Structure 1
Amino acid sequence: MTGILSELSRLLDLAEGLAWAATLVFVRVGAMVALMPGLGDPVVPQRVKLALVVAFAIVLSPMLAERLASDMPGPTFLALGSEAVSGLILGIGLRLFLVALTTAAAIIAQATTLSQLFAGAAPEPQPAIGNLLTMAGIALAMISGLHVRAAQLVMLSYDFLPAARLPLSSEAADWSVALIGRCFGLAFTLSAPFVIASVLYNLALGAINRAMPTLMVSMVGAPALTLGGMAMLAVAAPVILMVWLAALSDHMAAPFGAVP
């Protein structure tokens, strides 16, 4: 009888540890999913988001329970808050890459005079090129297994963001500044062909205007710029999306690595 009670007590302790580990994983994953591209968008219903977070927690908790048990403190509100902060850091890192794609689309729209096309049609004001690239980028990321990589990212994050411990503010600030700079550089890189083409177009337009002052070069050149920009977008969009997806994949493989 004593042996049965001891075994039951051991099972209860194991179940308690697993439940607490699942709670910590649930909080971290929930905060990350709230900001993830695609899964965290406002168009996704809250019940669907909750189901996704529960599914992530069910899958990851058994694999992380033994790892978390070694250095995991007892149940405290501070531990839950620390996990929420860690999850928000992961989610913000992923969301910045979507912001980079939107910024690149805004630069492209300004360079091709398409910035006001269908303005105000989306919940967030952005040009039609922004809607196109954002939707295509999210779809491409989901097809490429974003959910699987997100699960791997959560498992990897415990090497840099230990469970139930607040990250150092100095390290978080350095990482966020470096990542913001990288995302802005990525946005300019994606839009660079359109910026260069726009500069060449305006230089050519200025030369023509100097040679023929009476010609309405703006009226003649505006349709050519718009048509050329749309044709260039059709050719460059697949390359832009593949470069963006590769950058997102590199970040998810090494989220806290050296950022150039």
Structure 2
Amino acid sequence: MLIAIFCRIGACIMTLPGFSSARISMTVRFFLAFSISLAMTPLLFDTVYPRVSGGGASLIGVIVAELLIGMMYGLVPRFYVLGLQFTGSAISMAIGLNTPGSSDVLEDAPDNQMTNLISFGGLLVLFMLDFHHVVFRALFDSYSVMPIGGMPDSQKMLITLTDTLTQTFLLMLRLASPFLIFGLMFNVAVGLVNKLAPQVPVFYISTPYLLLGGLLLVYFTIAAMVMQFGQYFPMIFNF
């Protein structure tokens, strides 16, 4: 029974943002998932034990199904955080901050400083708002929505993930829209200046102003950006 609960909890933590970071050792993640599974076992005993007490080959199907359900509950917030990383990359391109990629704060993949700042700030706000409590509560309630012992509906799981991607993309596009509009208007204005005075090296003159204006815009909007990112998480995760 504990193995069945651990499969769902462990698969969720394996993909959950923050907990699945490359900066956290596998030992810490294992004991964290094991401790949460132990804490939930007394509460789920009457629900889980009758379905797994028989043993046999059906236990393999239970483990596979639990892994799929746990991964789905972890991928929804992970897609949401990856959307913020996409927003950071779009903002960096819009304001001309094309610096070489450095080591990421959360993962091993290289990324620029603006993306690291925005993604780490958004994830920190999520932890301050106890988003992991929302996820663990949803995992506990999932045993009544997706009972143990049967294979989950793959079509509903894919619809849930695609709806999450759609809502996340629309939200991140709205968060990045001031920077996209600023970059578009600035480049159109620079293009007009270049047509009026072709002899002026517009690229070398415009880049510092584009970067300065973009950084000022980041300074005035980053607080509202990460707060809206944190406030919209319950709406995205409410499936």
1:58 paired with 2:38, answer: yes
Structure 1: gaps of 5 or more residues: 1-19
The partner residue of 1:35 within 4, 7, 15 is 15
Deviation at 1:237, TM superposition (A): 1.2
Q: 1: distance between equivalents of 2:186 and 2:72?
A: 42
1:72 to partner: Cα distance: 5.9
Matched, 1:121 2:103: yes
1:88 paired residue among 67, 71, 81: 71
Q: Which of 224, 236, 239 pairs up with 1:251?
A: 236
Amino acid at match of 1:78: G
The C-alpha deviation readout for 1:113-144, integer Å capped at 9, x for no partner, is 113x2414332132211111121122222222
SS of 2:145 mapped into structure 1: coil
Query: Partner residue of 1:26?
Result: 6
Q: Quote how far apart the aligned CAs of 1:73 are.
A: 6.6
Mapped to 1, the partners of 2:135 and 2:35 lie a distance apart of 12
Deviation at 1:101, TM superposition (A): 0.5
Q: In 1, distance between residues paired with 2:236 and 2:45?
A: 25
| Segment drifting more, 131-140 vs 80-89 | 131-140
**Residue by residue, what CA displacement relative to the aligned partner does 1:215-237 show, whole Å, maximum 9, x if unpaired?**
22222211011011111112111
- In 2, the alpha carbon distance for the partners of 1:73 and 1:176 equals 32
Aligned to 1:103: 86
Range moving further from structure 2, 169-178 or 229-238 = 169-178
Larger Rg: 1
Percent identity for Structure 1 against Structure 2: 21
TM-score when normalising by structure 1: 0.83
Q: Which amino acid in the other structure matches residue 49 of structure 1?
A: R
2:18 aligns to what SS in structure 1? coil
Measured at CA, do residues 73 and 242 of structure 1 come closer, stay the same or move farther in structure 2, by a change above 3 Å?
A: farther
Residues of 1 paired with 2:236 and 2:137: CA distance?
12
After superposing on structure 2, the runs of 4+ consecutive aligned residues of structure 1 that deviate more than 6 Å are: none
Matched, 1:206 2:191: yes
Do the aligned residues in 2 keep the contact of 1:73 with 1:164 (CA within 8 Å)?
no
Q: Is the 8 A contact 1:60 1:151 kept in 2?
A: no
Question: How far apart, in 1, do the equivalents of 2:89 and 2:146 lie?
Answer: 34
When the two chains are superposed, the root-mean-square deviation of aligned CA atoms in Å is 1.8
Q: Give 1:47 shift.
A: 1.3
Corresponding residue for 2:215? 230
Q: Distance between the aligned counterparts of 2:188 and 2:195, measured in 1? A: 11
| Shift in Å, 1:239 | 1.3
Secondary structure of the 1:205 match is helix
Corresponding letter in the other structure for 2:174? T
Q: What is the aligned length?
A: 233
TM, length-normalised to structure 2: 0.90
Matched, 1:140 2:122: no
Letter in 1 for 2:140: M
The question of 1:176 aligning with 2:161 is answered yes
Amino acid in the other structure paired with 1:103: F
What secondary structure, in the 3-state scheme, does the structure 1 residue paired with 2:174 have? helix
User: Larger RCO: Structure 1 or Structure 2 (Cα < 8 Å, ≥ 6 residues apart)?
Assistant: 2
